[in-house]
Amino acid sequence: MIALYFHIPYCLRKCRYCDFCSVTVDETANRYCDALARELSLRAEQYPMERTATVFFGGGTPTVLPSDALCRVLDQANRYFPFEKNAEISIECNPKTASQKELADLRRGGFNRLSIGLQSTSDRLLKRIGRVHSYNDFLQTFSFAHESGFGNINVDLMHGLPGQTAEDYLSSIENVIALSPEHISAYSLILEEDTPLFDDVANGIEKLPEEDAVADMQDAGIDLLESNGYRRYEVSNFAKAGYECQHNLTYWNNAPYLGFGAAAHSSMSENGKWYRFSNQASIQAYLRKVDHGKVPEAERILINTFEQMFETIMLGLRKTEGISYESFQKRFGCDVREIYPEAIDKNRRNGLWDERNPEFLRLNRRGMDLLNSVLCDFQERNYWDLLRP
């Protein structure tokens, strides 16, 4: 069973902090969905017989493309990689990019989960980070989504924005909770090089909140979400019971997925070997390759067993549930405690594990705050002694 990801690299306009692979929508968009359909047929020859548990159309902003074209891609995906009954089928949408009719078409076409990129309910902050929409646009999209029959909606929020106070952030969360979406993603802004915001901060035109203030904001946000029935199940993700995003759990469980479209990444097992590969990042190069009937792959690397183990730790510890000892044993034929005794002991001494459930290796809340430093301890593992006879 696999997950399918479709990358739609178009947006109405670039946000000031964004370094994702996306461009302002242009004439290549007309050919893009046909290229995705062709890539599906090429990949199906490589991976016949795969069935699909989850599908995710992300970007970019998928809903800048016509809903009928998106639904045609979804139909093709179902034809080549048949969907399980009750498969979770998500699409990302930004306020101002989908009419009520388009959302209804998407719902009728098979999409059953909508992820709306709001980021903040303050128009002042939305403007400052270059979002094209207002809070009111979001409210309208949210109500269209409900009326169109979407019963599983995620709303994205951000903290650590320039000019944002804890009050701003908590009021965004409160406003969103009042609408009762099934899922809320609450991310911290990451200042990426080569973005207008990065340049503005570097030149003293913009100022981000201090690190401690961001940590306090995040903490208060977690408390507010959890006290309102949104369980934190991953570093930045919160859901009502039963609405955890199954597609993203595929990534955090280090399970196989196939990515389609420009710059899409995949992680697949073939003949007992694990590969990670990515498509051409340039939209033109991607379209050219697919037009010539070629798989648009740009890079493929073999992931050895030790790298797989580390990645399973790196991704699995992002989940509040942590890593099941049994599933690690099943996958790698060894006990995670025997592979990483030093890292586990060191972080036990530091009081970072939650040891209430003996079946899982999992971090407590402080441990999740210090995830990067915990992972450095796992990364230091020298595997040579495991290779010696």
Sites of contact with ligand SF4 (CB under 6 A): 11, 14-15, 18, 20, 22, 59-61, 94, 117
Distances from the Cα of 206 to the Cαs of 120, 128, 165, 210, in angstroms? 18, 9, 14, 13
Shortest Cβ 53–ligand SF4 spacing (Å): 25
Reading phi first (left if > 0) and then psi (alpha if -120 to 50, else beta), residue 194 is in: left
Residue 160 or 367: the one with the smaller Cβ distance to ligand SF4 is: 160
Shortest Cβ 245–ligand SF4 spacing (Å): 17
Distances from the Cα of 254 to the Cαs of 178, 267, 340, in angstroms? 34, 8, 18
Residue 117 or 209: the one with the smaller Cβ distance to ligand SF4 is: 117
Residue 43 or 131: the one with the smaller Cβ distance to ligand SF4 is: 131
Shortest Cβ 326–ligand SF4 spacing (Å): 38
Shortest Cβ 92–ligand SF4 spacing (Å): 8
Shortest Cβ 172–ligand SF4 spacing (Å): 16
Residue 187 or 353: the one with the smaller Cβ distance to ligand SF4 is: 187
Between CA 175 and CA 128 the distance in angstroms is 20
Shortest Cβ 126–ligand SF4 spacing (Å): 11
For residue 366, which amino acid is it? R
Shortest Cβ 11–ligand SF4 spacing (Å): 3
Between CA 236 and CA 196 the distance in angstroms is 25
Residue 62 or 296: the one with the smaller Cβ distance to ligand SF4 is: 62
Shortest Cβ 139–ligand SF4 spacing (Å): 18
Contact 261, 271 (CB under 8 A): no
Residue 163 or 196: the one with the smaller Cβ distance to ligand SF4 is: 196
For residue 13, which amino acid is it? R
Residue 95 or 316: the one with the smaller Cβ distance to ligand SF4 is: 95
Shortest Cβ 195–ligand SF4 spacing (Å): 9
The CB-nearest residue to ligand SF4 is: 18
Between CA 129 and CA 125 the distance in angstroms is 6
Q: Structure tokens of 179?
A: 């609408």
Between CA 200 and CA 165 the distance in angstroms is 19
Q: Structure tokens of 9?
A: 């690299």
Residue 36 or 255: the one with the smaller Cβ distance to ligand SF4 is: 36
Shortest Cβ 12–ligand SF4 spacing (Å): 8
- 134: Cβ–Cβ under 8 A, 6 or more apart, which residues? 95, 123, 126
Residue 18 or 361: the one with the smaller Cβ distance to ligand SF4 is: 18
Residue 160 or 316: the one with the smaller Cβ distance to ligand SF4 is: 160
